[in-house]
Structure 1
């Protein structure tokens, strides 16, 4: 039940956040048309698209992990038995993934709260608030951490087969 809840959460976030790609593409197209067709460039489009792309990029980490879309190098593990591969994957999560995800989550939270408390804005021609993006990093790290827990549980319970790169 917890595995399904975590998978469904990251699936929903991934599907919702994927709409952001359409939004920032539309803004880029709008800016290009304004700049080259009407000779009237926007002052805000570049900064807004940078913020949206950053949000899009960080928020999809848990979704990508759920779908095993991260880069994998299985040069050693591809020759191991399925059972051994599972335990090597679990060890990799415990040794590398969870410490990274934990530090990412804690430091992003501190980073976001500092930005929030200072009312931090961008330096561009339009002063956009930065703290929403920095807070999104903490949320994204939490989603990534949760998905890591789900992936380890799947491996331990035998519900996930470690993949081979083709």
Structure 2
């Protein structure tokens, strides 16, 4: 079914992007060792680690939604039985989530196109291209929107995959 396909995409992306955390940590450790042990700080490590953290942060949004890891305010729904809670949560997607995700997607698309057209780079000591990160924002918005569709379908169809956090 459609939601399994979307869940699979975000699962693969999430697992691949998690590897960036290891690389990210390695760069920071390398820079700290070079700076304090050899008194030879790198010029590139700060900018590279900042960009890698950006990739890591934005691209895991769909993965986090898949596992219900986003912050929720359960003041009302926490006290409800599963069926009314499910319908209230389902109503929240078209009212709040989909408009936000659509604006995020369209604005980040424009943002990425402009950055690509300008050949935008960082202004630090090492000039790295910025447009890959801005393109990643657009991809992340698309993945988040797709995962929202999957979660909405699970709620409406009362699929067990969504109810995993009710136990």
Matches within 5 A, 1:134-153: 134-153=134-153
Contact in 2 for aligned 1:31/1:41 (Cα 8 Å) = yes
**Runs of 5+ unmatched residues, structure 2:** none
1:90 CA displacement: 1.0
Measured in 2, the distance between the counterparts of 1:90 and 1:5 equals 20
Provide the TM-score with structure 2 as the length reference: 0.95
Q: Secondary structure at the match of 2:163?
A: coil
Aligned match of 1:44: 44
Measured in 1, the distance between the counterparts of 2:13 and 2:149 equals 17
Q: Which runs of structure 1 show a deviation greater than 3 angstroms over 4 or more consecutive aligned residues?
A: none
Provide the TM-score with structure 1 as the length reference: 0.96
Q: Secondary structure at the match of 1:161?
A: helix
Aligned match of 1:66: 66
Number of residue pairs the alignment of both structures matches: 165
- How much is the aligned-residue C-alpha RMSD, in angstroms? 1.3
Cα shift readout 1:97-132 (whole Å, capped 9, x = no counterpart): 100000000000100010000000001100000000
Matches within 5 A, 1:28-107: 28-107=28-107
Measured in 1, the distance between the counterparts of 2:165 and 2:16 equals 27
1:163 CA displacement: 4.4
